[in-house]
Amino acid sequence: MKSKPAAGEDGIKLIAANRKAFHDYHILEKLEVGIALVGSELRPLREGKVNLKDAYAEVVDGQLWLVDAHIGSNPFSNRLDHPPLRRRKLLAHKRQIVKLGQKVETSGMTLVPLRLYFRAGRVKVEIALAKGKAQYDKREAIAKKDLKRDMDRELSGRR
Task: Give 24-40 pLDDT, tens digit per residue.
Answer: 888 899 999 999 988 88
What CATH number corresponds to the domain at position 25?
2.40.280.10
- Is 109 domain-assigned? yes
**pLDDT, averaged across the chain:** 85
Q: Is residue 32 part of a domain?
A: yes
pTM of the model: 0.76
Does residue 148 fall inside a structural domain?
no
The answer to the question of residue 139 being in a domain is no
Burial 56-71 (b: 16+ CB within 10 A, else e): bbbbeeeebbbbebbb
Helix extents (H) in the chain: 19-24, 42-47, 94-107, 135-158
Name the 3-class secondary structure at 43. helix
- Tens digit of pLDDT for each residue in 112-148? 999 999 998 899 999 999 888 887 778 888 888 899 9
User: Does residue 142 lie in a domain region?
Assistant: no
Which of the residue ranges 52-61, 79-88, 134-143 would you say has the lowest mean pLDDT? 79-88
User: What is the count of structural domains for the chain?
Assistant: 1
According to DSSP, the β-strands at 63-67 and 70-71 are: unpaired
pLDDT band at 2 (very low <50, low <70, confident <90, very high): very low
Considering the domain boundaries, does residue 145 fall inside one? no
> Given a cut of 50, is residue 1 above it in pLDDT?
no
pLDDT for the residue numbered 8: 58
Report if residue 85 sits inside a domain: yes
> Quick check: 109 and 51 in contact, CB under 8 A?
no
Find the domain containing 112 and state its range.
10-133
In a domain, 140, yes or no: no
Residue 115 φ/ψ, nearest 5 degrees:
-155, 160
